[in-house]
Each structure stands twice: as C-alpha cells, then as structure tokens.
C-alpha cells in the first residue's frame, strides 16, 4: 500500500485479477493487479470517505464487478459497485443505518451476503446478483460479538 495507507480488505477474481481496499487518510483507495505478478498495483482513487471497508469481486455472470461495502461518513454501512474498476460507481445503497465492520461474501452465482456488527450482534442482509434484496435484515449472531472486524 502507499505510505501511510493500510489494507482493509482484498479479493481475487475468477480471472486472477486482484483488488484491495486501502485506507489512505480516511479515504478508500482501490489497488488492482493481475496475477501472477501482483506486485504491479494500479491505484484508483474512489472519492469514498471511510476507514472501515470490505471489497469483493462479483462472481458468475457478474465477474469483474467490484463490490465495496463501507462505513459511511455519517454512520451506517453502505454498498456500491463499479463495472470499470473504480472509474465510475453506482449510487450507494444503505445496508444498515447503524452498523460498523462490514464484510461481504459473494456466492459463485453472484449472490451477496452482507454482514456487519451492530450493538453486540452480527446482522446480515442478502441481495441477489441484480442487487434485489432476497433476505431482509436479520440477526446472524444475537449477542456477545466483539466490536471488531468480522472474519
């Protein structure tokens, strides 16, 4: 990562394209590279302010879509995606009004399983590959979850 930056999350696409979200002074920087030489990172400024984010590649028919879940400046978790590796971003979707520590798991068919920490619990919402909600907000872990990143 650039000097002073810290890697928040990373993923590799089905076509071996690597992406990582880096916190640089409270703004998310995307870095992209292609294996087998993932030492040549390309920087993409996102203009998205956050120091808590998760980046994932879409799968299946949506391979190449870069999905970013992050804590918004005013609080809560938002989700955006780009089809051109950070050149343009869709309008943010609010995943949770009060959550922190977002993470996303993407199925082979492109279904997005969003998780976040909120008031001692881990919450979840699920969206299909077209970003339509298929499971509304639910509690995955009811209590006792640490206020920390979700593995």
Q: Minimal CA–CA distance to 99: which of 29, 23, 47, 150?
A: 150
pLDDT per residue as tens, the chain (151 positions): 778 789 999 999 988 899 999 999 999 999 999 987 777 899 999 999 998 999 999 987 666 799 999 999 999 999 999 999 999 999 999 999 999 999 999 999 999 999 999 999 999 999 998 889 999 999 999 998 998 888 7
Instruction: Pick the closest to residue 24 from 41, 1, 55, 42 (CA basis).
Output: 1
Where would I find the H helices in the chain? none
User: Tokens 């990562």 label which residue?
Assistant: 1
Question: H helices of 25-96, where?
Answer: none
* Strand 66-71, strand 77-82: pairing: antiparallel
Whether the ω angle into residue 41 lies within 30 degrees of 0, i.e. cis, is: no
Q: What is the pTM of this model?
A: 0.92
What is the pLDDT, as a whole number, of residue 39?
77
Q: Output the CA angle 12-145-76, nearest 5 degrees.
A: 65
């Amino acid at each position: 990562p650039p000097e002073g930056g810290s890697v928040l999350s990373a993923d590799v696409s089905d076509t071996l394209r690597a992406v990582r979200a880096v916190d640089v002074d409270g703004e998310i920087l995307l870095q992209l590279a292609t294996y087998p030489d993932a030492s040549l990172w390309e920087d993409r400024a996102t203009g998205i302010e956050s120091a808590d984010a998760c980046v994932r590649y879409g799968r299946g028919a949506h391979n190449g879509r870069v999905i970013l879940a992050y804590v918004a400046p005013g609080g809560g978790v938002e989700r955006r995606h780009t089809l051109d590796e950070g050149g343009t971003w869709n309008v943010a979707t609010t995943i949770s009004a009060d959550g922190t520590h977002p993470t996303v798991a993407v199925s082979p068919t492109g279904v997005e399983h969003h998780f976040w920490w909120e008031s001692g619990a881990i919450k979840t919402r699920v969206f299909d590959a077209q970003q339509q909600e298929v499971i509304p907000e639910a509690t995955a872990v009811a209590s006792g979850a640490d206020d920390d990143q979700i593995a």
